Amino acid sequence: MADYKPYYDKSYALVVGIDSYTDRSFVPLGEAEADAQKFAALLESPAFGFEVRTLLGEAATREAVLEALFALQQAGPDDRLLVYIAGHGYTLVDRFGAETGYLACVDTESEKHYTALELEEITDLRRRSEAKHIAFIFDACFSGQALGLTRGVTERDTSAAALLERRAYQVLSAGAGDQTVSDFHSMTDVIVERLAQEGVSTLNSLGLYVQQRMATESKQLQIPQFGHLTGSQGGDFIFEAEIDAEALHRIDDTAPFRPAPVRGGLPSWVLGGIIGAVLSVVLIFGLILLVPEPDPVPPPDSGPEVVYTDEDAQRVLVPQVQEAVLLYDREFRYALETGEPGYIGLAATGEALQDRLNALEILQAAGDCYWDYDQHDFTFRRIEFFDDDDVEVRALVDRDGRVYCGREDPVARPEFDFEGPLLIRYRVIVEDQRWKVSVSETLDE
């Protein structure tokens, strides 16, 4: 076994996100590039200290990804490497029953698997680089066989020094090979939220948390996969910029999982009478105005005005508050599109939660209504801290929306339409150790 130091020398990451592909047989994704940008920003923050190369959209060709992987081969023995890819993944089975996983690049042709990246081409980095810790995170679905996972486990001695002095090659993917990855509340959302809260986490403990939480919230429809690759020697990838073995001493990978609160389905009830079209439209419109579609958090140089009561203590909370607002908007969007309330409550509480349940109930009562829209821009305008756990956020949302009722005739004219921009005010508080939106209202611009 190589003689490794109980700390990292340097940290490098490759982050790839692809929403749209040149081959139109790949269904466009809505959040892959935004997720990649969000994860890259977290890794580059002082808390984690990675040097990050990002390939998004048209830049993420097969050749560009392979060149970036080649560059990572130059890392030193006490460095850590992280490869993150969000996009379409798929598994092919050959005539002998062996499974091979592939990740689609922006220029991949669906009928020519050699134009995609075979997973082994990516994880082969561990054979070419001297880096002692290499992590692969795929926000896509693959079976354990396609990923090449082994039964190896982390050493029982979980002191920071022990983990850092042994090799670790690990993988985390968003789901099994026969599952569909949700583009709403993605695995990346959960990872970013967890790392921002924990500060120090191993990939093993992160994988366990992500797996249990997403399996619970999706009712077992999406179960992330994680584990070690051949060549690991009992180490564990650690997400922290400066590792202090004395301070960490032992990293607890057995801490109990506390699932995020998830509301069940609405109680069954029988509609009485015919709901007037005008009343339904007015109520739906009034509530839908509260639901802007989020874009990625703006970069710091174009960020919102922030008012602190304690700047040093609260500066690190800004990304968490912004993420809570974005998640709040996403969860209702998912409910309106699918008619399922299961995710409502992840980031909503109090009046805001009740407003969203009411809006969904109105849509269901009005006769299979749903909404569609064109999102143009989402900009955080102002964030004001009243305390460490009480914040007001204002955001400008520019979008156009349409409400349709009756799916049998999808080309029918909308029941109602409207145009942005809208100025939305959110009150964000801490409840059950999570940031949640308690009030949301539309203001006059």
**Band (17; pLDDT cuts 50, 70, 90):** very high
Most confident of the following: 146-160, 216-230, 259-273? 216-230
Task: Tell me: do 201 and 290 sit in the same domain.
Answer: no
Give a yes or no: residue 223 inside a domain: yes
**Band (99; pLDDT cuts 50, 70, 90):** confident
Give a yes or no: residue 263 inside a domain: no
Report whether pLDDT(396) > 50: yes
Domain count, the chain: 2
Give a yes or no: residue 357 inside a domain: yes
As beta bridge partners, residue 371 has 403
CATH of the domain at 431: 3.10.450.50
Task: Tell me: do 241 and 387 sit in the same domain.
Answer: no
Dump the DSSP string for 345-380: TSSB-HHHHHHHHHHHHHHHHTTSEEEEEEEEEEEE
Tell me the Cα Rg of the chain: 23
Give a yes or no: residue 270 inside a domain: no
Give a yes or no: residue 267 inside a domain: no
**Domain encompassing residue 281:** 277-443
Among 192-206, 319-333, 422-436, which is the least confidently predicted range? 319-333
Give a yes or no: residue 146 inside a domain: yes
Give a yes or no: residue 19 inside a domain: yes
Task: Tell me: do 314 and 166 sit in the same domain.
Answer: no
Which residue, of 248, 269, 299, is where some domain finishes?
Answer: 248
Task: Tell me: do 178 and 50 sit in the same domain.
Answer: yes
The per-residue pLDDT for range 339-395, each reduced to its tens digit, is 667 667 777 899 998 988 888 888 778 777 777 767 677 788 999 999 999 999 999
Task: Tell me: do 327 and 285 sit in the same domain.
Answer: yes
Give a yes or no: residue 265 inside a domain: no
Report whether pLDDT(60) > 60: yes
| pLDDT score, position 154 | 39
Please, what is the average pLDDT of the chain?
76
CATH of the domain at 208: 3.40.50.1460
Task: Tell me: do 310 and 386 sit in the same domain.
Answer: yes
| pLDDT score, position 241 | 53
Task: Tell me: do 306 and 425 sit in the same domain.
Answer: yes
The per-residue pLDDT for range 124-143, each reduced to its tens digit, is 999 999 999 999 999 987 65
